Amino acid sequence: ERFVDRPMSPFDIVFLDPPYTVSLEPIIARLPTLLAANGLVYVERAARDGLPEDKALEWRKTGRAGAVCFGLAALAPMTVPRA
């Protein structure tokens, strides 16, 4: 969370992975300012917790490997900043 508070250029991809116990909601809320146009976010969580269900994300691909679930998402059109 401290990292996303620093000023920076938008990223093409953002990785949200361990530690799995960190709440993702505050970071997901910041994604429109962190991701470049057509940017993607990769999320990895404990399978028992599942991937976040957030209207800001459109899951492109999801899967599971053992005790981990993962997914690749884009911002939903309503959350993408307009140029």
Q: Is the pLDDT of residue 26 over 80?
A: yes
DSSP calls for 42-59: EEEEETTT-----TTEEE
Q: Is the pLDDT of residue 7 over 70?
A: no
pLDDT given for residue 74 in this prediction: 95
pLDDT given for residue 43 in this prediction: 95
DSSP calls for 1-41: -TGGGS--PPEEEEEE-S-TTS--HHHHHHHHHHEEEEEEE
pLDDT per residue over 30-74, tens digit each? 888 889 889 999 999 999 999 999 998 999 999 999 999 999 999
